[in-house]
Structures are given as C-alpha cells and as structure tokens.
Structure 1
Amino acid sequence: MFSLLSSAPARLCDGVTRREALTVGALGAAALGLPDLLRVRAAAPPKKPRACIILFLLGAPPQQETWDPKPDSPAEVRGDLGVIRTATPGLVIGETMTRTSRHTDKIAVLRAVATNDNAHSASGYYMTTGRPHAPMQVENAKPGAPNDWPSVGGVVRKFLQPGCPLPAAVTLPEQSANDGGLTWPGQDAGFLGRAADPWFINCEPESERFEVPTLTLPGDMPPARFDGRKGLLEALARAHLGGGAPAEPDAHVRRAFEMITSPVARRAFDLGAEGVKARDRYGRTRFGQSCLLARRLVEAGVPLVRVNWTRLPNCPNNGHWDTHTQNSLAMKKMMPALDAAYTALLEDLSDRGMLDDTLVVWMAEFGRTPKINGAGGRDHWGPVFSVALAGGGVQGGAVYGASDKLAAYPKDGRVTPQDLHATIYHVLGIPADAEIYDTVGRPLAVYRGEPVKAVLG
C-alpha cells in the first residue's frame, strides 16, 4: 500500500515539522509564531528542507511525441516520429528524448492530467494556481480579479519565507506570455498581495558575462550614494506613516536592497563558478542556463524555482511548443535543448545528493490534439496530457494513469491541477489544512486536491 506521507517528516524552510507545530497546542503555529516553534523543537538536529523546480514548457509539448506515444495507433494519430526504449522496462517515450530515456528510473509519469481548457492563458492559469479560470476557454486572459488566486510561488513565499536567505520563490528567465507579450494570469501572488509575489528575474544567463541587473550596482553609483538612496527610502516610508516611528520601506524595495547587498545572492547567481564543462552540460541556451541557475538557487536555500521555456531561434512556431505546424520538425529542433537541460539538471542534483530533496516538475498548460492537422501540426488539447515528476521522494520508474488508445481522453488515474498542486505542497511540507485569507479576511484552504499517493515514496 502506498503511504500519503513520506518516511521523513515534512519540514518547513526553517526545519520545523508539521507534527512539531501540532504539538504546540490549541493556539497553533500562526498564534505562537516562529520563535515559539523553534523553542518547541529544542535541541533536535536540523534536517534539510525540500525544494521544487518547475520547468514550465510554454506552448505545451505533444504528449504523443514525449511521455505518451501511441505506436500502434493510426498514422494520423501517431505521427511520423518513432519511440525509444527507456531505463524502465516496458516504458517507451518519444524518439527525440534520447538522454531522458536513460533517466526514467528517476521519473514518474502522470499520463492522465486534464484541465479541459484549450486556451493557453486560461489553462495556464489553472495549471499554475490549481484553480480553473473563470470563464474557461479564454485566450489572452488578463491578470487580476476575479482570477487572482495565488500561484504556487505566492503560496510558497507566504508559508516558507521565514528563515530563507533569499526570496522563497523565484521565477526566471521571463514570464509566460502569448505572442505579443500578453502575460498570462496566475503567475503572481494574487490576492495575497505584492509582498508575496515570486521574485521575477528577467535575465539572459546564457550570456558570456551574465549579471542579474537587480544584483549589480550601476557603474556610476559609489557605495556612499547607494547607502544614501536606501536612507532616503526609509525616510519616505516614515513620512508616509505620518512621521512616527521608523518604518520599513516597501517590501519589494527592501528585498531589492537585500538582494543587491547579499553575498548569498551573489554567489547563487555566479554561473562563472560552474566552469565551462558544467555549463556546456546544460546547453548554452537561455533555458538550459536557467535550469543551471535554478539548481544554484535551490542550493542557496530557495524552496521554489520556476523556469519558463524561452523561444528558440530558427525553429517552427516561433520557437515554442505551440506546434500548430511542422510538429515533427519542431520536435527535432527543440527537443535536444530540452533533453540536455532536463537530464543535466537531474544528473547534477543526483550527483550532489540533492535529488531526494528536490522535486523537479516537467509541465505545461495543456497537451496537443490526438490527430495531426493539415499543416502537419497538433493543436491545443486540454482533455488529457502528461506531466513528469522526479526527485523529492517520488518513486522513479513509475507510470500513473493512462489515456485512451488515441491519447485523447483519460482512461484511468485522472489527475487534476488541484491534485498536482497538492502533490507539490505535500513534498514541500505545506500541510493539507493550511489556510490563506482573501482580501476581506475569509479563510480559504490552500488546496483541495489529493496528492498522487501512487508515486510518492
């Protein structure tokens, strides 16, 4: 029988277990606060908290050419690409995933994930918040109420920020957006407020001399001038509150100054410390180097990093996975970059003893249509698609759920975005009874799905 709980107790970023929090008594964790919880733990040795890296593949790779091929289906369904055997007996995946095929012993595949939404931004909102967009099937949906449920990163910052040396959730190297820069909803903290937003870093880590702008002082700004600006912001904050006691600057401004001056942050973003071979291993693409940066951020204590797919030059469909045309050619051109970055991340985490404590999620907003269209592509499809999980206590070499013979609808083991979020939060140690509050103070359950017990160790 599979257990809902892992063998090790789930811990928060500061190392406190949920069991320890419950022993505090009727006042609960929120009433007592972090210092009291730490005293409850007394002299118990600290244990490493878990983390999560989400690889969000903008546009959505086809399940038929990746995790759920149908080699015995009609030609218009299976396409013209073949399959490849894997390290897991009986499991085949798309033929372009050559490196990934050697690492399926670390991976659990969910083959019956569904949103039933065929719009990039609306279905993307569902996948990144665990709440369906209202209404569904809306393309180019804009952020904001009523669709302002917090993203995974917002929830993680709300619960796991205390004790973390850096922002507890980071998104890089760009936001998910439709062509034309139309940013999807569901990537911020929503009604939790701007202070809980994931730290968004627009960056180009593949650059020869990579620097994160917010961590670098302008060349014409001496340290004294920088300190003066910080003092000015603090004075403005006091004035805004009527000239009373010293006040903190805006949360975003305060965090920006902390990031600029933090040695931990500077070390985390120093990709030059990796060496040429290590960087080559991930691939010199923006996505590949972002995956390497994600590993460094997790190593520095960040519990949640989201890496968004970035458009590859000289590829069909504007270089993302929205393969309305030339699906096979797109797979051949783009999969090598994804295959290299994904497997390098798994290998690197494993080699460093971090994979058991780091959940890596391969996901997108939906899947692709069962049949190839007249342009040789596959269109949007929310009724069924695949998500892959690795590390974080997940049982590798597993497949949960199944689609029908055309990869069109769930056959068994259907997983909703709510269930996926429940699984992520379970791994991170955010308990099922955790609550957040909306703008009028009503308590709301963080998640209502069920962790996918069958793939949890």
Structure 2
Amino acid sequence: MFLLGGPPQQETWDPKPESAAEYRGDLGVIRTATPGLIIGETMVRTARWTSHIAVLRACQTYDNAHSSSGYYMTTGRPHIPKQVENVKPGAPNDWPCLGAVVRQVFPKRSALPSAITLPEQAANDGNLTWPGQDAGFLGRAFDPWLVTGDPSAGRFEIEGLELPAEVPWERFDRRRRLLEALAEQERDPHRQQAFALLASPAARRALDLSQEPRKLRERYGLTRFGQSCLLARRFVEAGVPLVRVNWTRVPGAPNNGHWDTHTQNSRSVKTLMPILDAAYSALLEDLDARGLLQDTLVVWMAEFGRTPKINGSAGRDHWGQVFSVALAGGGIRGGIIYGASDKIAAYAKDNPVTPEDLHATIYHCLNIPLDTHIRDLQGRPLLACTGRPIRAILS
C-alpha cells in the first residue's frame, strides 16, 4: 500500500504526546492491542491489529521531493541527484521497481501477471508520473500490469479484457490458432499475455468484485482505495505474488485529497484516515479469516513523512529525514516497534532503516534470494537488492 503524499508520522505510527503543541499537533492518541504502543487517535480499527504489525519508526531517505524520494522507496536505489521534483524515468535513474523484479524472478502462476499495480500510477499534481514504477532497464515486458479505474463505481471492467460483441469466442479462437501457426505469439510477450487474459475465466473472476458480499465490501469502505484493497486480496487469492495499491485522491478533501498535508494537517488526517483505517484493517482481517495473512506480507509505506513542526498554514511539509513504515503478516513478528525517532519525530535516534534494508526485508519475505542478479542493458549482472533484512522483525 503506497500512500501518496506521505502521511504524518506524528498523527499515525509515531505520535509525540509529550512534546510541545507546535510539534505534537492537536490530535490525540489511542492505546493498541500491543502493550506500550500508542498510535494516532483516528486509527481506531488499525489499533486492534497491532499484534500482527511491526512498526519501523526510523525510516529515512533524506530526500524531500515526492518524485525522487518516491523513486528511492519503490526501487531501493537513491535517485541521482536527490531533492528533485517532477523528474522523469531514464538513465541514470532507470532501476526497475520491485514488481518488475518479481515479474522477472517468478514464473507466472496463472493467466494473470506476477505483479500488478492499481488503480493508477503515483503522480504529482498535473498527472506528472513518478519514476521508479516500471521495469526500467529490464524492458517493458517486465512492467507490472497497470489496472486503472474505480472499483467502487458500479460494475468494474478492464478495457480490452472482454471480447467485442461482434467477435464470438469461436472466431477469437480461430484467430489465436492462426497466430500460433505463424509463430507470432511467441515473439510478442504482450500479445501472449493479452490472449491468456482473454481466454482465462479465472482472470476475469479475480476482477469481479460483484462476487463479494455487500457487507464485506462495506467493511473495506465503498471508496476507490478501499475497493482497490479488496481487489488486491482477490489477486492474491488468484496467485499474483505482488500487488501494489496506490492511494488515490479523495474528492473534496484538503490538499487535493492526498497525504501531502501542507495545509490543515489535522483536518486532512480526520478526512483521509477513516478511509485508510477501514481499508487497511479490513485487508488484515479478511486475509486472516481466509488463512492467508500468515503467508501474505502487507506493507504500509509512502515516499516520506512530514515535518516535525506545524507550519503557518496549520500543515506539515515534506520530511525524508525520519518517518514510519508498517509491515504485517507473512514472515513478520507482530507487536514490535523497531527503531525510534527523537522527541519531536525529526531524526532517527535508534536503528535507522534505509529503503535498501526495507527492500531486502520484503525480498526475504518473498523468498527471493538476496544474491539474485538482474542484467542491465549492457548485459552486466547487478545485484537486485543491496540491503540487509531487518532480522529483529522477522519470524
């Protein structure tokens, strides 16, 4: 779960109730299922699930730009240079995202790709897409499959996943066999994937949220983000190894509806957190009820956090010096707080965590060997991951 904009650590996983008002803000805290762990007062449902969650309170990129810090968090490689906004993909910042590496390492288990992103790419205002969300130098064949749309808006359909009304299945099958005979399908991985998806009832079922009980859909929240999380659970059940759900803008909310809370930080948190709290806790609860949580890693992350001090617009600005990430489920020891920030959540005090180490931990939980190599455009072998797993949180 990638939370575009960067939720404030002070109002979520790392509140500082003993600090001065200009640092702690005006929201309170609540106790959780984990003794000694307090979190922001708006995370009511999440508080019940902390026995499954490890909180990393000292993550850092030292990059305060959405685009370049987001690149670092999604690839595990720092952007060159840091502190650059609205950057585009391309050398030297063309490292593949985690989903692309998964697509290369894991053979397909079904007609669905082994990495999927939904319901849109992360982008700055103006639809300026961040780098680090595609396959980079691995090539387009390894891009995560991007599923766009609004799963909360009535019947959810993926363009091109159904045959046109004038093309019956028999005619489609004849076309497919003709292409196979011409050996064209093997030369085009995108066409091969398209055929597999069109011909797969299982793939279409995974996208059919109407099969879910209304009460469960409401538990996730009838929002674009909430229903995307439910769709992610369906993809996991269908055998997709990695699904990324990006936060989507909430109409009518402050700061364009994302977590970039430059103004009205408290109002933003009160507006956005009920959506996130419902979807995140429902996903954990749903996976647990289905016996999937012990084998499914759920990651709550963003590109950075927010400044320790409230600004003149009652907001918090960009802050990559310290922020929180939460991991739950497969391979993680729950009920743990790892690392600490200082008394105003400004800098790491104990056990800082870099994106390299976060990626190494995710690789470990995915059973991807840390000595896995990928090849660049010149054919040179490169370590896919250069960090070290956080052993203290691994089961």
Is this a same-fold pair by TM over 0.5?
A: yes
- Counterpart CA distance in 2 for 1:388 and 1:214 is 36
- Counterpart CA distance in 2 for 1:397 and 1:234 is 53
Aligned partner of 2:45 among 99, 106, 113: 99
Task: Look up the SS of the partner of 1:214 in the other structure.
Answer: coil
1:384 equivalent to 2:319? Answer no
Deviations 1:382-427 (CA, angstroms, capped at 9, x unpaired): 0100000000120111000000011000001100000000000100
Residues 250 and 91 of structure 1, relative CA distance in 2, 3 Å threshold: same
- Counterpart CA distance in 1 for 2:185 and 2:125 is 42
- Kept in 1: contact 2:61–2:320 (CA 8 A): yes
- Counterpart CA distance in 1 for 2:112 and 2:163 is 18
Q: Which residue of 1 aligns with 2:287?
A: 349
Aligned partner of 1:410 among 339, 344, 348: 348
1:284 equivalent to 2:222? Answer yes
Residues 437 and 209 of structure 1, relative CA distance in 2, 3 Å threshold: same
Unpaired stretches in structure 1, ≥5 consecutive residues? 1-54, 239-244
1:59 equivalent to 2:1? Answer no
- Kept in 2: contact 1:233–1:249 (CA 8 A): no
CA RMSD of aligned residues (A): 1.4
- Counterpart CA distance in 1 for 2:74 and 2:83 is 16
Per the TM alignment, residue 227 of structure 1 is displaced from its structure 2 partner at its CA by: 4.0
- Counterpart CA distance in 2 for 1:439 and 1:113 is 31
1:263 equivalent to 2:209? Answer no
Task: Look up the SS of the partner of 2:86 in the other structure.
Answer: coil
Q: Which residue of 2 aligns with 1:115?
A: 61
- Kept in 2: contact 1:357–1:391 (CA 8 A): yes
Deviations 1:44-92 (CA, angstroms, capped at 9, x unpaired): xxxxxxxxxxx00001100000000000111110000011111111110
Q: Which residue of 1 aligns with 2:36?
A: 90
Residues 69 and 219 of structure 1, relative CA distance in 2, 3 Å threshold: same
Q: Which residue of 1 aligns with 2:366?
A: 428
Task: Look up the SS of the partner of 1:215 in the other structure.
Answer: coil
Alignment TM-score, normalising by the size of structure 1: 0.84
- Kept in 1: contact 2:150–2:156 (CA 8 A): yes
1:312 equivalent to 2:227? Answer no
Residues 164 and 449 of structure 1, relative CA distance in 2, 3 Å threshold: farther
- Kept in 1: contact 2:120–2:149 (CA 8 A): yes
Q: Which moved more, 1:416-425 or 1:156-165?
A: 156-165
Aligned partner of 1:336 among 265, 274, 287: 274
Q: Which residue of 1 aligns with 2:117?
A: 171
Deviations 1:240-291 (CA, angstroms, capped at 9, x unpaired): xxxxx66524212221221121111012111111121111110000000000
Per the TM alignment, residue 429 of structure 1 is displaced from its structure 2 partner at its CA by: 0.6
Q: Which residue of 2 aligns with 1:441?
A: 379
Structure whose CA Rg is larger: 1
Q: Which moved more, 1:206-215 or 1:165-174?
A: 206-215
- Counterpart CA distance in 1 for 2:243 and 2:349 is 32
1:370 equivalent to 2:370? Answer no
Deviations 1:147-180 (CA, angstroms, capped at 9, x unpaired): 1111000000000124444211000000000011
1:323 equivalent to 2:261? Answer yes
- Counterpart CA distance in 2 for 1:77 and 1:282 is 32
Q: Which moved more, 1:171-180 or 1:205-214?
A: 205-214
Alignment TM-score, normalising by the size of structure 2: 0.97
- Counterpart CA distance in 2 for 1:271 and 1:456 is 33
Task: Look up the SS of the partner of 2:315 in the other structure.
Answer: coil
- Kept in 1: contact 2:111–2:197 (CA 8 A): no
- Counterpart CA distance in 2 for 1:118 and 1:127 is 12
Residues 72 and 246 of structure 1, relative CA distance in 2, 3 Å threshold: closer
Q: Which residue of 1 aligns with 2:234?
A: 296
- Counterpart CA distance in 2 for 1:423 and 1:83 is 29
Aligned length: 395
Unpaired stretches in structure 2, ≥5 consecutive residues? none
Aligned partner of 1:77 among 23, 45, 54: 23
Residues 280 and 429 of structure 1, relative CA distance in 2, 3 Å threshold: same
Aligned partner of 2:142 among 192, 196, 211: 196
- Kept in 1: contact 2:179–2:185 (CA 8 A): no
Task: Look up the SS of the partner of 2:55 in the other structure.
Answer: strand
Aligned partner of 1:133 among 58, 61, 79: 79
- Counterpart CA distance in 2 for 1:275 and 1:218 is 29
- Counterpart CA distance in 2 for 1:265 and 1:77 is 48
Aligned letter for 2:338? Y
- Counterpart CA distance in 1 for 2:393 and 2:275 is 27
Aligned letter for 2:239? G
- Counterpart CA distance in 2 for 1:217 and 1:246 is 20
The equivalences for 1:218-233 within 5 A come to 218-227=164-173, 230=176
- Kept in 1: contact 2:304–2:323 (CA 8 A): yes
Aligned letter for 2:290? R
Task: Look up the SS of the partner of 1:248 in the other structure.
Answer: helix
Deviations 1:112-153 (CA, angstroms, capped at 9, x unpaired): 000000000100000000000011111001012221111000
Q: Which residue of 1 aligns with 2:91?
A: 145
